[in-house]
Amino acid sequence: MARPARHRPAAVACAAHALPCRRQRAVGANRMTDATVALFGYGRFGQAFATLLRQAGHTVRVVDPVAPVPAELAAASPEQALAAAHWVVLAMPLRRMRAALLELRPLLRAQHRVIDVGSVKLQPQAWMDELLGPAIAHIGSHPLFGPLSLARGERPLRVVLCASAQHPQLPAAARALFEQIGCQVIDRDATAHDEAMAQTHALAFYIAKALVEMGIGDDLSMAPPSFLGLSNMLAAVRGDAGHLFAAIQQENPYAAAARERFIATLGTIHERLQRESDAGALAIPAPGQAEA
């Protein structure tokens, strides 16, 4: 039976202990122990992530000032969530993260490990470097999955880790944590991550938004196979994170340039279609083939 979490400060952050664990398992080259995870934020992704962590044998304690949290997971306060935590996961919206870090900073200790799970990495990394600094270990992550992809059983799960230069030792432990819940780990710096997401994640949402507003995809009874990939993209975007459209576009510093380049490229293609008749020149190149 779920119950609403008690009222807590609207912004909450995170931390984690390197305390002894109950039992130990091998995970690839790393060894990862069962841990207690303090999870700040119980939205759609937070719920899915909590399930994965618990299935892997971890204990999860959740703090969310708004969302209903099951009684077996709910912590009465940030202090209670942090008291026995090994990892602290920041799963709140980016707009609340700085305030959360400020509120939780007095509660964090040197044993704590802080990790965020948002889809933009430069800004969270800057805030964690500023507010947690060398004293509190921290790392950025972007799990490349969500509730819909988990429900579909899509595998492998993937996650991008963006290490802070202040804590070069932390990626190994973070890698072990994610490997234990079944993830393949990709290491990138925050700039490379945000640039890549602007050209993939943000553009996919941008295209999907346009198709939805045009009413395309509502009736697929005559859709050819070539459109089914787009229909899958629409379903993934709407099912996993359609509510995050504005955040994905506005919080990634490279998204606007990617959109502008996309629009300009569409304009160029449109103009070529208006004036050219050479089918070969207009053809879409095959994989590995250069553009004519």
Angle (CA) 10 12 14, round 5°? 170
**Mean pLDDT across 19-28:** 35
Listing DSSP states for 183-195 in one string gives EEEEE--HHHHHH
pLDDT tier at 32, thresholds 50, 70, 90: low
Bridge partners for 30 per DSSP: 27
Task: Read off the pLDDT band of 239 (50, 70, 90).
Answer: low
Between 281 and 6, the higher pLDDT residue = 281
User: What's the DSSP call for residue 291?
Assistant: P
Identify the H or E element spanning 127: helix 122-131
β-pair partners for 161: 141, 187
CB-neighbour burial class of residue 3 (10 A; exposed 0-12, middle 13-18, buried 19+): exposed
Which helix (H) or strand (E) segment holds residue 203: the answer is: helix 201-213
Cα 113 from Cα 123, distance rounded (Å): 18
Q: What are the start-end ranges of the E strands in the chain?
A: 2-4, 24-27, 30-33, 36-40, 59-63, 68-70, 87-90, 113-116, 137-143, 157-163, 183-187
pLDDT for the residue 281:
82
Hey, what CATH topology would domain 2-188 get? Rossmann fold (3.40.50)
Choose between 53 and 32: higher pLDDT.
53
> How far apart, in whole angstroms, are the C-alpha atoms of residue 179 and residue 187?
13
Domain locations in the chain as residue ranges: 2-188, 200-276
Query: Quick check: 9 pLDDT over 80?
Result: no
The answer to whether the CB of 53 falls within 8 A of the CB of 60 is yes
**pLDDT beyond 80 at 191:** yes
Residue 228 identity? L
Provide the pLDDT confidence category of residue 23 given band limits of 50, 70 and 90. Answer: very low
The DSSP code for 85 is -
Of 190-199, 215-224, 247-256, 273-282, the poorest mean pLDDT is in: 215-224
pLDDT digits (tens, 9 = 90+) for 54-107: 999 999 999 999 999 999 999 999 999 999 999 999 999 999 999 999 999 999
Is the bond preceding 78 in cis, omega lying within 30 degrees of 0?
Answer: no
